Every structure is written in C-alpha cells, then in structure tokens.
Amino acid sequence: MQARVLPLILASITWAAGLSVAHAAPTDYKIDLDHTYATFAIDHNGAAINRARFGEVSGSVRFDKEAKAGTIDIVVQTASVYSGSKGFDEHLRTADLFDVAKHPTMRFVSDHLVFDGERLVEVPGQLTLLGQTHPLTLKALQFRCYANPRAKTEACGGDFEAVIDRTQWGMDYLVKVGMPKSVRIGATIEAFKQ
C-alpha cells in the first residue's frame, strides 16, 4: 500500500510545483533612463515633418512572462522636449502647445498587455496630457526580453507608436488655419528586472 501511495504523493508535489512556476508572480522592472524616451512627429505645411523627443522619462513596468500580463506607468517631463531647434523648443513649451508651466508632465498608464501568441501587439491605456485623460492604445512595433550584460540582469524593451488627434486633449493651436490635428507619437522603453 505504502509503495503505491508514495509515487502518488511525489506526483502531486511535482504537479503543484509545476503550477507555482506556471503562475509566477509579476516581476518589477525599473525604467532604464538611458534607453527610454518619447517622440512625436507632425506634418509641417505638407513640406516637411516636425519631429521632437522628450528625453526625461521615468516610470515602472510589471511583467509576468508566463501569464503574458503586465502594467506600464510612464511619466514624461514635458520641458525636456528637444527638436534640434532652440526657437521651436521654446515655442513647444508655451501655452500654445505643451504649456509646461501648468502641465510639467504627461503620463501614460496601462493596466494590461495584448498578446497574439508569443508576440506583444498592443498596450491599451490612458494618456494624460494638458490635464486631460483619454484612452490611448500603443501599437507594439517590437518587443523582447533578454539578458543585459551591462546591467547584469534581464531587460525587457520595446518600441511603440500611435496616431492621436491632439485636439482631443485640448491642443488646438493653428488647427483652424489648417495645421494637422493628427500627431504620430512614439515611445521607446527599456526596463531592468529588479
């Protein structure tokens, strides 16, 4: 009798251990400030594309690889905008556009990730800009986790983008005279496992 019970007990322990691995808790990742930034691009009179980058970005990521679940919380310092043109940067910071004196940050928060099989495809969330919060879904252009030799830990990172109507957040500057409402925004995010 004992000879038959022991294998059953061992099998149960092995099965339970397998469940604990399959349902591991989400892992916290800290944003790597050197490889994380936000961008935007908007048409300029049909002649060129105005582009700029926000270099000061902070936040956190929680990710459970087994469950394909996670959250992202990213805060962008709006005054860190840089286009390569001093005059344009100064104008971007005024009340016409990002109004950095009243709204020093913008924030994207997502409480889940959308996978297609093994591939991350979307990150639905909420974008707060100019004091207004509205839904925004970032499309994942690429995403992967890897062993980072510099940080000596696992890093997860990706490149994301979306096209928004800036007037939805109250950024109406020159729309009435034909400046486009559509803006392509991007986020390059890399975070280290804690």
Report pLDDT for 5: 44
Which amino acid does the sequence have at 152? K
Question: Which pLDDT does position 11 carry in this prediction?
Answer: 40
6 three-class SS: helix
Distance set, CA 106 to CA 58, 98, 152, 185 (Å)? 11, 9, 31, 13
> DSSP secondary structure string, 113-174?
-EEETTEEEEEEEEEEETTEEEEEEEEEEEEEEEEETTTTEEEEEEEEEEEEEGGGGT--TT
pLDDT of residue 46: 86
pLDDT along the chain (194 residues), means of 10: 44 41 76 95 91 96 94 97 97 98 98 96 98 98 95 96 98 95 97 96
Question: Which CATH number does the domain 24-193 belong to among 3.40.50.1820, 2.140.10.10, 2.40.128.110, 3.30.1490.20?
Answer: 2.40.128.110
In the block, residue with structure tokens 């096209």: 163
Closest CA to 111 of 135, 143, 141, 139: 135
* Whole-prediction pTM: 0.84
What integer pLDDT is reported at residue 25 of this predicted model? 82
SS3 for 55? coil
